Amino acid sequence: MKNNLQHIDSEIFDIIELEKQRQQDYITLIASENYTSSAVLAAQSSCLTNKYAEGYPDRRYYGGCVEVDKIEKLSQERLKKLFGSDHANVQPHSGTNANIAAYFALCNSGDTILGMNLNEGGHLTHGSKVNISGKWLNSHTYGVDSNGLINYDRVQEIAKEAKPKVIVCGASAYPRQIDFSRFRQIADSVGAYLIADIAHIAGLIVANLHQNPVQYAHIVTSTTHKTLRGPRGGIIMCVKDLAKQIDGAVFPGTQGGPLMHIIAAKAVAFKEALQQDFVRYQTDVKNNAQTLANALKSRGLKLVSDGTDNHLMLIDLTQSKIGNNLTGKEVEDLLFKANIVVNKNTVPNERRSPFITSGLRVGTPAATTRGLQKNDFITIADMIADIIEYGQSSVQKVHAKVLDLCKKYPL
Ligand SMILES: *Cc1c(COP(=O)(O)O)cnc(C)c1O
């Protein structure tokens, strides 16, 4: 089977080969990306993709599900064990699908939800007006203070005013711990359900490096491909009382047939995450983020909230001592020329459009999987700072150094 792709479709094969080389030759600091294991890749590219299995184990709408039933049950059991949850649904095709299903389980059209503002760290699916969550529901938002931190008293006030049916916590660009127990208090005080979206920090939670929301939130959603290092996909966990509603909201509510090859790959990733090695990996991710943050600060760069508690940080170019007239987009482009991949990001009190921005989001999960060490992250901080401080004139020199680093750590 292996060389068949090259044989049958050399166009696609060649592009995949180029992408392999790109992944080898660039340092990925995109906080939401990671490299899966070859075991995860193998399950994902297996014959399981051929099977239709609408429904749930032992309750399918198709025959021939004996083997895939075993796979989905294993995947569910491992996920429950990983986070200590009562119920697990491993079918959501993505983090977005998981969130849409969670709303569909709890809300009717026009119900009020309260989530974190997209500009200040939240996700599109937390009520943004361009997303179904902001169109189908009546969405209100909370944000961060001028110091970049969630002000829980302020969230409480907004909740009291908005009277939401659902409060969503969790973020895509928030470098600090999230106090899930406080969010639950706020939700209880206004009679709301609490959804915790742990897409970014799931791996850190597994390793006990971040508070686990399972005991506080009615529903926990996540992706499986960020710090959790599994295949591209979503998951939902919930309390027993909501299990039926959640399962029905995923299928037939918002999805059709499950991706059994992905569900198998999730099971493999959960098994990997249950190993002691995974705790070590997450500890490295967090320590490397600390190292990177401190080294960036020592070069005069300002970080939102002045640092990080997790795997990512946000550079605020408007508050930094170097590169003051550069935008997030300009720095993203310059870094890309030097083979370092980050993404531009809005910062608190952003004055520029989301296509330009005044900040950068930088994370350590992928580079840590690759094997980069503490000293390498200090080097990377200097490379980023050189690009910001000296602009185009530093690109060539940094580029050469990046290629050396990439050679040292083959994928
Ligand atoms: C990445 C992310 C998602 C969405 O995941 P997709 O798989 O891209 O749909 C949802 N919520 C948060 C907080 C995220 O960071």
The active-site residue out of 78, 165, 226, 361 is: 226
For ligand 1, pick from 34, 91, 96, 222 the residue to mutate: most ligand atoms within 8 Å of CB: 96
Quick one: average pLDDT of 128-147? 96
The reply to whether 111 belongs to the active site is: no
pLDDT in tens, 377-387: 999 999 999 99
Q: What is the Å distance from ligand 1's center to 247 Cα?
A: 20
Express as a percent the part of the chain with pLDDT over 90. 97
pLDDT in tens, 252-293: 999 999 999 999 999 999 999 999 999 999 999 999 999 999
Q: What is the Å distance from ligand 1's center to 399 Cα?
A: 31
Cα–Cα dist 375/181, whole Å: 36
Q: Is the pLDDT of residue 19 over 50?
A: yes
User: Model confidence at 348, in pLDDT bands (50, 70, 90)?
Assistant: confident
CA 234 to ligand 1: nearest atom? 7
Residues 246, 181, 81, CA angle at the centre, nearest 5°?
50
Express as a percent the part of the chain with pLDDT over 70. 99
pLDDT in tens, 166-179: 999 999 999 999 99
Q: For residue 349, what pLDDT is reported?
A: 86
Cα–Cα dist 377/342, whole Å: 14
Q: Is the pLDDT of residue 3 over 80?
A: no
Quick one: average pLDDT of 188-207? 98
The reply to whether 266 belongs to the active site is: no
Alpha helices in 10-65 (DSSP H): 10-25, 38-44
pLDDT in tens, 217-252: 999 999 999 999 999 999 999 999 999 999 999 999
Q: Is the pLDDT of residue 322 over 50?
A: yes
User: Model confidence at 1, in pLDDT bands (50, 70, 90)?
Assistant: very low
- Residue 359 per-residue DSSP state: E
The answer for residues whose C-beta is within 8 angstroms of residue 362's C-beta and 6 or more apart is 29, 31, 292, 296, 312, 313, 314, 315, 342, 384
Q: What is the Å distance from ligand 1's center to 278 Cα?
A: 22
The answer for residues whose C-beta is within 8 angstroms of residue 224's C-beta and 6 or more apart is 202, 230, 231, 232, 233, 234, 235, 266, 269
Q: What is the mean pLDDT of the chain?
A: 97
**Bridge-based pairing state of the strands 138-142 and 112-116:** parallel
**Structural domains of the chain, with CATH:** 41-273 (3.40.640.10), 279-408 (3.90.1150.10)
pLDDT in tens, 381-408: 999 999 999 999 999 999 999 999 999 9
Residue type, 228: L
The reply to whether 72 belongs to the active site is: no
The reply to whether 153 belongs to the active site is: no
Cα–Cα dist 297/320, whole Å: 9
**Residue 327 and residue 317 in contact, taking contact as beta carbons nearer than 8 Å:** yes
Residues 294, 299, 303, CA angle at the centre, nearest 5°?
55
Q: Is the pLDDT of residue 18 over 60?
A: yes
Q: Is the pLDDT of residue 50 over 60?
A: yes
pLDDT in tens, 60-80: 999 999 999 999 999 999 999
Contacts 24+ apart (CB under 8 A), 390-398: 391/323, 391/326, 391/334, 392/334, 394/338, 395/334, 395/337, 395/338, 398/338, 398/340
Cα–Cα dist 102/119, whole Å: 22
Cα–Cα dist 352/140, whole Å: 22
Phi, psi (5° rounding) for residue 308? -150, 150
State how far the alpha carbon of 327 is from the alpha carbons of 301, 332, 335, 338, 359, in Å.
Answer: 14, 9, 12, 17, 7
Ligand 1 site residues, Cβ closer than 6 angstroms: 32, 94-96, 99, 123, 125, 170-172, 197, 199-200, 223, 234
Q: For residue 325, what pLDDT is reported?
A: 81
**Residue 166 and residue 192 in contact, taking contact as beta carbons nearer than 8 Å:** yes
Q: Is the pLDDT of residue 324 over 80?
A: no
The reply to whether 376 belongs to the active site is: no
